[in-house]
């Protein structure tokens, strides 16, 4: 009875102490698609990522190809080779990558850096906009200030605030309600362009730049030779900053997952004595039996929960079984990592302290996550490994429970 209460206490404590880590939806894999609404923060990483359903809090996403089609109530942090953000965002958007396309309505500020960046016509940024990259195309409406650094810049936006645009080539077909700072070798004003206040500029044409288009500028025009366009090493620096932004975003998502798993591993190792060592012994002695038990656990548990559910009187039991099953899936990789660490300890004939067990378990967890990123084969290897580990854990738990009885 004492051991049964101890197990219940461990489960409850893990659920409570890891609540901050679990108050989020975590998804990772080669191909990840969000197909159901998410009511909390979402952290998504993968080769191909698609977010089709609303996210009611923050969204952090990184991948080779990223498509955000749905609405996000709060902030978005995105990084990838190609990133499309087409939903309505309630907060700020910070995005970095090779090819970026942004549409919809952004309720806060937009920060975007990439090789090619496009703000679609019909889109709206209610706050400020900062953009950097090689080929930049701006449409839509900007409610605040606009600051742009790039190579070829095409500005067709309606900007309510001030603008500061510097690059190799600037073409303006939109309107600016505030003051403007322009610096480029060539500056072109389309007949549709309107600059409603003062303009300070530098271009290769010098003071002759706006001789033919001065009627499109309502304020004073000042040639400032101290303004110089971005070129050479400054573009190289901008490229490095873009790459750094991608790396930081990916590290942020991976770091969150790693910290969550480390917390779980720490709690489990500190709150158990010989349980996982016994599981490792069972796995070593009865390897294929462990696999069978693991397979039966994951295959039979949902069936059992369903049978209890349809019996009406068994609904509480069905809910309890369902909770344990979800719990097992959420903690599959950390639990498997601990079993592997204790198995390695036993195979080497060592007697590690808990700090060493925790460290090796975290390393096994990282290895599982890396292998999981390999298409098809990696996922299968991880799944089979989890079956072996969970089979040993279930067998050990059953053995200890029958002894208590």
DSSP labels for 161-174?
A: S-EEEESSEEEE-S
What integer pLDDT is reported at residue 264 of this predicted model? Answer: 84
**Domain annotation covers residue 286:** yes
For residues 94 and 137, membership in a common domain is answered with yes
Residue 243 maps to a domain? no
222 and 178 assigned to the same domain: yes
Q: How far, CA to CA in Å, does 183 sit from each of 222, 224, 228, 234?
A: 12, 9, 6, 14
Do 227 and 313 share a structural domain?
Answer: no
- The range of the structural domain enclosing residue 294 comes to 272-404
Residues 283 and 368 reside in one and the same domain: yes
Position 120 scores a pLDDT of 94
Residues 230 and 346 in one domain: no
User: Contact at 8 Å (CB) between 123 and 139?
Assistant: yes
Instruction: Please identify, among 178, 210, 237, the residue that sits at the C-terminal boundary of a domain.
Output: 237
Residue 166 lies in a domain: yes
At which of 237, 261, 290 does a domain end? 237
Same domain for 42 and 129, yes or no, is yes
Please report where in the chains the tokens 């890891």 appear, as a residue.
18
**Domain co-membership, 158 together with 288:** no
Is 196 within a domain? Answer: yes
Q: Is residue 259 part of a domain?
A: no
Task: Give whole-number Cα distances, 219 to 73, 154, 161, in Å.
Answer: 39, 22, 15
Q: Looking at the structure, do residues 278 and 210 belong to the same domain, yes or no?
A: no
Please report whether residue 316 resides in a domain: yes
CB proximity list for 193: less than 8 A, separation 6 or greater: 172, 173, 174, 175, 213, 216
Question: Domain ends where: 237, 258, 286?
Answer: 237
Asked whether residue 225 falls in the same domain as residue 322, the answer is no
Whether 38 and 127 map to the same domain: the answer is yes
Q: Judge whether 382 and 350 are in contact, CB under 8 Å.
A: no
Q: Does the pLDDT value for residue 17 go beyond 80?
A: no
In a domain, 162, yes or no: yes
Greater confidence, 173 or 114? 173
| 233 shares its domain with 333 | no
Which of 7-11, 87-91, 107-111, 231-235 shows the lowest per-residue confidence on average (mean pLDDT)?
A: 7-11
How many distinct structural domains can be found in the chain? Answer: 2
What was the pLDDT predicted at 29? 67
Domain match, 233 and 282 both: no
Instruction: Give mean pLDDT, residues 287-312.
Output: 83
Distance CA 403, CA 99 (A): 61
pLDDT tens figures, 164-218: 999 889 999 999 999 999 999 899 999 999 999 999 999 988 888 888 888 888 9
Name the percent of the chain lying above pLDDT 90: 32
Q: What is the pLDDT of residues 368-399, one digit of tens each?
A: 878 877 767 878 888 889 999 998 998 888 88
Which helix (H) or strand (E) segment holds residue 175: the answer is: strand 175-176
Q: Is residue 318 part of a domain?
A: yes
């Amino acid at each position: 009875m004492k051991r049964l209460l101890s197990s219940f206490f461990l489960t409850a404590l893990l659920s409570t102490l890891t609540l901050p880590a679990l108050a989020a939806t975590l998804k990772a894999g080669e191909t990840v698609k969000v197909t159901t609404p998410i009511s909390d923060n979402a952290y998504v990483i993968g080769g191909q990522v698609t977010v089709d359903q609303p996210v009611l809090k923050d969204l952090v996403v990184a991948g080779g190809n990223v498509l955000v089609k749905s609405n996000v109530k709060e902030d978005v942090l995105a990084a990838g080779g190609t990133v499309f953000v087409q939903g309505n965002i309630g907060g700020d958007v910070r995005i970095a990558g090779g090819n970026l396309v942004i549409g919809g309505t952004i309720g806060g500020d937009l920060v975007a850096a990439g090789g090619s960046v496009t703000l679609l016509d019909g889109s709206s940024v209610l706050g400020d906009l900062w953009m950097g990259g090689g080929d930049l195309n701006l449409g839509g409406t900007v409610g605040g200030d606009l600051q742009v650094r790039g190579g070829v810049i095409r500005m067709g936006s309606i900007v309510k605030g001030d603008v500061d645009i510097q690059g190799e080539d600037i073409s303006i077909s939109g309107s600016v309600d505030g003051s403007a700072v322009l610096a480029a070798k060539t500056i072109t004003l389309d007949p549709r362009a309107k600059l409603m206040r003062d303009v300070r500029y530098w271009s290769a044409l010098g003071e002759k730049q706006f001789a033919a288009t001065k009627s499109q500028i309502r304020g004073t025009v000042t040639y400032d030779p101290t303004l110089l366009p971005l070129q050479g090493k400054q573009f190289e620096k901008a490229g490095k900053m873009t790459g750094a932004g991608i790396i930081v975003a990916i590290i942020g998502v991976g770091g969150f997952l790693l910290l969550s798993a480390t917390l779980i591993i720490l709690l489990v190792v500190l709150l158990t004595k010989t349980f996982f060592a016994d599981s490792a012994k069972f796995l070593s002695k009865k390897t294929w039996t462990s696999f069978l038990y693991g397979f039966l656990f994951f295959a039979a548990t949902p069936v059992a929960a369903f049978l209890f559910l349809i019996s009406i009187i068994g609904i509480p039991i069905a809910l309890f079984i369902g909770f344990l099953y979800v719990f097992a899936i959420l903690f599959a990789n950390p639990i498997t990592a601990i079993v592997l660490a204790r198995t390695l300890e036993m195979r080497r004939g060592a007697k590690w302290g808990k700090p060493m067990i925790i460290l090796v378990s975290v390393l096994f967890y990282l290895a599982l996550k890396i292998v999981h990123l390999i298409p098809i084969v990696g996922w299968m290897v991880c799944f089979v490994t989890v079956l072996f580990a969970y089979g040993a854990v279930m067998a050990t738990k059953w053995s200890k429970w029958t002894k208590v009885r």
